[in-house]
Structure 1
Amino acid sequence: MFPLVWVVVSCEDEINQKFFIHHLKTLLQNTERGDNWCIIGDRHKGVEKACTDLWPTVGSRFYCNHLNVNFKNVFPRPKIWQLFWLAASATSPFTFGKAMKQIQKNKDATRIWLANLGDQRRWSKHKFDTTLKCVVNNTNLVESYSLTLGLIDLDQY
């Protein structure tokens, strides 16, 4: 996995996100892979809307390190964090189910939070679309670029 493009905009609004996705789609669809790409994002509403409106057939995933930061803010217990990673990195329905059963024992709100993430194909490996040839849902590459540009506060990690 490697980044293909990077954009610097005045703000992360819907107009700028649509501008970015439009040009990314135009660039990538002319390759032999067509729509067989995977966009890994942080659940930013503008990116979600831009992809839905302009490129609904592209694969997309959530960046689980970002999800984990949000998860830790709501559920400040290390055992729950371990179970989150077990569910996110599960490569079989059995392992995923086992993690989810443990999560349900700990707190109902945790299960609801995870259910609100939507489609498991976007955050748990056991449901990933194998045609995308990408099994990544957590990478430090994103942080490296963001840290270089000063876009991430190290205290959140």
Structure 2
Amino acid sequence: MPNLMVLGLKFNNFRGGLPLSLCHLTEIQILDISMNKISGTIPKCLNNFTSMRIKPDSTKLDNFISSSVYQDRESALIMWKGKDEKYDSLLGLVKLIDFSSNNLVGEIPPEITSLVGLIALNLSRNNLVGPIPHDIGRLESLDFFDLSKNNLSV
């Protein structure tokens, strides 16, 4: 499913590692596997998520907001800052990864910093260790960023 844009698998009691087949989801914009029992490391191939490597186009956002007749059949219910939010017409601009509340270990792969289009990254409540990637500041579009409840160092 290389054209898949939304994959929501939270609260499924999944176990085991993240499958490397995730690396083939080049068009993925929303990847939520939170609140499972996933173990292992975060794959370095996250930089294959081509859609997340593109910064949001502010003119596109302005056009969406100012358009009085924008119809789009795509919608998703997304957990955003602790609340379920429904995204309809702006869904194409939402780019997020939520791996929170699992049993992930190891370091945050530096490849994650190539996903400059991300607006939300939640890796909280895992067992991640090591330093936060030094060029995490490249993720200028982030509106929500949570690394809490890990064992990270500076």
TM-score where L is the length of structure 2: 0.27
Whichever of the two has the greater Rg, that structure is 1
TM-score where L is the length of structure 1: 0.27
Specify which structure has the higher proportion of strand: 2
